[in-house]
Structure 1
Amino acid sequence: MQTKIDFQSAKEILKSQNIIPLGIERVFLHAALGRTLAHSISATSDMPTTPLSNMDGYAFSSHFRDSKILKILGENPAGAAIPTLPLDAPYTIKTFTGAKIPLNADMLVPIEHCKVTQEGLEIIIMPKIGQFIRQQGDNYKKGETLLAKNTRLNSHHIGLLASLNQIFIPVFEKPKVGILISGNELLELGEKASNGSDIYNANGHLLFAKVLENGGIPKLYPILKDDKAQVQNFLNLALKECDIVISSGGASVGDYDYIATLCEERAKEVVFKGVNIKPGQHITYAHFNQKHFFALPGFPNSTLVTFELFVKPILYKFLELSFTPTTLRIPLPQDVHKTDTRLEFRVCNVRNHNGEWQIDFTGKKDFQSAILNNFCPLDNAKVGLCILDSAKKKGAIVEVILL
């Protein structure tokens, strides 16, 4: 067990974890949104399968490009069978956007580049051969890889899969993530305050939402009292039922911090205990029963930050995804004071002003670990973690993790 390590060492440890995906399942197209693709997807045919019109216009053969008048044979709407253009005279067929280009035609003149007279079609601006025509295979060729394995599917991918007539999509199974919250002072949602308790289970539902939005299946267990036997029983149950287990609270050095006590008793299974950061220095990462266990601090800010920094990399590995947080380099708008020697992740507002990223600390009431509303700015600014290794002067360039 490593103790009180630096942040970079903790990152390297998490990066080195060899995690095999749980398995592959096939889900309906819409259910694949946000999931990780388990196999590459290739085109089964050319797209388009035949040349198509990109404009409303008139299709004709380049053999008759020098003809002053083309005789109009009829109309060719989108979805119709491919018509054939005779080549024994200067003919043309009116062809609408998305329609198949007639056989023997290789030119298309947009309707605004020509005019219809009693004699026929007169071309005012002559197009080039193939201009305004989407050729066979312009989108993609048969056998071409269109989506790579390990792609996290978004709405664009869903549209592409639909165009390929893909109904059931192979994706990696989601890991089950158990969430254990402990503390005699906590109330579950819906409970009435009594005996001086008025703190609701924010951390449990915060972590539930974090797991859900990052591709896992959260399981929130009942609030645990500060009772060692109960904490141990539920920890064992969660380790049995889940792939990852997260606890919040009870990880520090107090008399009732039984998560910390259990970690000490299972010290051989603990990978690291304590990271020299603020907030969240008491984080613990362990392999209990060959499962991944994280003991997060109980203050809401600490819980949120340590989930982002430590839990997400492991959760992403189960999903065959590479965890690469969006990091910006931004000048400080003001002097920043700091006396603590720990590496600090200070919550800030992130705004885009005319294409330039800026940060500020407006509305941040304090940087204590208990103020969760610091992460919920009233003006819908983005939220980031400003990384501070020391006090900084206005204009100094700092790294900011975008949340």
Structure 2
Amino acid sequence: MNLISYETSLNMLELLEVNASKNENVPLSLALGRTLSKDVIAKYNDPRFPTASMDGYAVIHSDLDSDSIRVLGDNPAGHDETRVVTEGTCIKTFTGSKMPQGADTLIQIENVDAIDGKITIEEKVPLANAVRPIGEGYKSGDVLIKKGTKIGFAEIGVMAGLNIVMANVAVRPRVAVISTGSEILDLGVESDNPSQIRSSNNYTLAALFEQAGAQVIQLGTVGDDKDSIMKTFENALCSADILVSTGGVSVGDYDFVKDIVPRLGAEVIFKGVAIKPGRHIMVAQREDKFVLALPGFAYSSTVVSMLYVLPLIAKMLGKENSFKTVEAKLSEDFHKRSRFTEFTACNVTIEDGQYFVNFDGKKVGSSAILTNMLERSALMISGEEDKNLEEGTFVNVILLENF
């Protein structure tokens, strides 16, 4: 098999044209986890007027040298204060309240002694103390949340503060997931055949894709039967934007998927990449639909999905990146096992702002399993040209979403 390099495969994936213009409006209460399709821009300054940041007295700063200052009354939060503070007067003003006209400073309650409608200053404060100026939070026209952002609790709060009732979000791409192979047993299915294994691929990948913002169509499993696979794939492409299958792409007699995909009328973009794990990956396109046929081994299919399926989902959502790559320093020697670009499960720690990599408890080689990705795990990248790497070497690391 002629293998292309990892870098070439990424370039080819990047050139694929996808429809990233689909968007819809959803109620803000249902927008959590969705992806913004338009920038959220502030229409007003925050605050719109000078605002008290604590409880105290709104005064003219030069009056702090006076023997006493007369209190005109109270100014609770939410009150549209119209009285004007003049020389020798002040207004008791509470946290979040609009600062009265004429006042330029707020002196907190604990700094004064209030007796008979007057205050005496026990400890002075600087000019403009405890006053939030107009636009301190943000200014009209500021981009507060960028297009492509995954909406979390903070984004919900900001949009609520802007009175955004309906959030404009990207339509979630539909990803159909299926595991192929007669040795695979779906969840809940029982068998007396000890050589069969429980399916985890379709559930692992479905969770991965949903976490990335996709809507998943779970197709379960199908045995090594050409007609059944063909029919299942054809039906999936009628409703899905992306079809992801596991198994059947290697060179065995029962690896039918690699032959079926072209028969669907899909153009093979590339098949076979010099990566470990996952070199037998196939990426194909039929009109505006995509087919990604992945290896059947659970760890391999998961890694390859991160490298190739997540970027496609991100493009359809209008996002720039599907994962974060950082530079990290090896805390121990690393033995490279192949001449391919390798993606090795590792542990990442942060010390004084620097990322460090170690492999404590991680399985390698043919024993690599999905538990490698539990807890604070990441994927270390070692290139085709890399040999064994010594402790202290800087490497690139893909951070997983649960990091």
TM-score of the alignment, normalized to the shorter chain, above 0.5: yes
Partner of 1:97: 95
TM-score normalised to structure 1 length: 0.91
The answer (yes or no) to whether the contact 1:239–1:289 under 8 Å persists in 2 is no
CA deviation vs aligned residue, 1:65-113 (integer Å, no higher than 9, x gap): 54321012322222223141353x6221211211221233222212233
CA deviation vs aligned residue, 1:343-376 (integer Å, no higher than 9, x gap): 1111112223454422222222333266222222
Separation in 1 of the partners of 2:268 and 2:381? 29
Separation in 2 of the partners of 1:101 and 1:33? 35
Alignment of 1:307-346 (within 5 A): 307-323=305-321, 325-346=323-344
Amino acid at match of 1:383: A
Deviates more, 1:292-301 or 1:136-145: 136-145
Partner of 2:189: 191
Separation in 2 of the partners of 1:15 and 1:381? 29
Partner of 2:57: 58
**Structure 2 residue matching 1:223: 3-state secondary structure:** strand
Separation in 2 of the partners of 1:353 and 1:243? 42
Q: 382, 391, 398: which is aligned to 1:401?
A: 398
TM-score normalised to structure 2 length: 0.91
Aligned residues: 398
The answer (yes or no) to whether the contact 1:351–1:382 under 8 Å persists in 2 is no
Structure 1 segments unaligned to the other structure (5+ residues): none
- Report how far residue 254 of structure 1 moved: 0.8
Give the direction of change, closer, same or farther, for the CA distance of 1:50–1:22 in structure 2 (3 Å limit). closer
Separation in 1 of the partners of 2:105 and 2:340? 69
Partner of 1:365: 363
Separation in 2 of the partners of 1:174 and 1:195? 39
Separation in 2 of the partners of 1:143 and 1:156? 19
Separation in 1 of the partners of 2:265 and 2:231? 18
Deviates more, 1:272-281 or 1:42-51: 42-51
User: Cα RMSD (Å) of the superposition?
Assistant: 2.3
The answer (yes or no) to whether the contact 2:326–2:396 under 8 Å persists in 1 is yes
Whether 2:388 is the aligned partner of 1:391: answer yes
Whether 2:33 is the aligned partner of 1:38: answer no
Give the direction of change, closer, same or farther, for the CA distance of 1:106–1:200 in structure 2 (3 Å limit). same
CA deviation vs aligned residue, 1:281-330 (integer Å, no higher than 9, x gap): 00011113441110100001110110011111111000000125322333
Alignment of 1:125-274 (within 5 A): 125-263=123-261, 265=263, 269-274=267-272
Partner of 1:13: 12
Amino acid at match of 2:15: S
Give the direction of change, closer, same or farther, for the CA distance of 1:349–1:142 in structure 2 (3 Å limit). closer
CA deviation vs aligned residue, 1:188-236 (integer Å, no higher than 9, x gap): 1112232225411100000100110000001111311100001011111
Give the direction of change, closer, same or farther, for the CA distance of 1:3–1:216 in structure 2 (3 Å limit). farther
CA deviation vs aligned residue, 1:119-138 (integer Å, no higher than 9, x gap): 82112444444332112333
Separation in 1 of the partners of 2:147 and 2:342? 36
The answer (yes or no) to whether the contact 1:364–1:374 under 8 Å persists in 2 is yes
Separation in 1 of the partners of 2:143 and 2:336? 51
Amino acid at match of 2:3: K
The answer (yes or no) to whether the contact 2:230–2:264 under 8 Å persists in 1 is no
The answer (yes or no) to whether the contact 1:115–1:121 under 8 Å persists in 2 is yes
Deviates more, 1:161-170 or 1:347-356: 347-356
- Report how far residue 141 of structure 1 moved: 3.3
The answer (yes or no) to whether the contact 2:299–2:370 under 8 Å persists in 1 is yes
Separation in 2 of the partners of 1:4 and 1:119? 86
The answer (yes or no) to whether the contact 1:231–1:259 under 8 Å persists in 2 is yes
Separation in 2 of the partners of 1:360 and 1:85? 65
Separation in 1 of the partners of 2:121 and 2:170? 56
The answer (yes or no) to whether the contact 1:3–1:272 under 8 Å persists in 2 is no
The answer (yes or no) to whether the contact 1:349–1:359 under 8 Å persists in 2 is yes
Give the direction of change, closer, same or farther, for the CA distance of 1:181–1:370 in structure 2 (3 Å limit). farther
4+ long deviations beyond 6 Å: none
Amino acid at match of 1:222: G
Partner of 1:85: 84
Separation in 2 of the partners of 1:180 and 1:7? 25
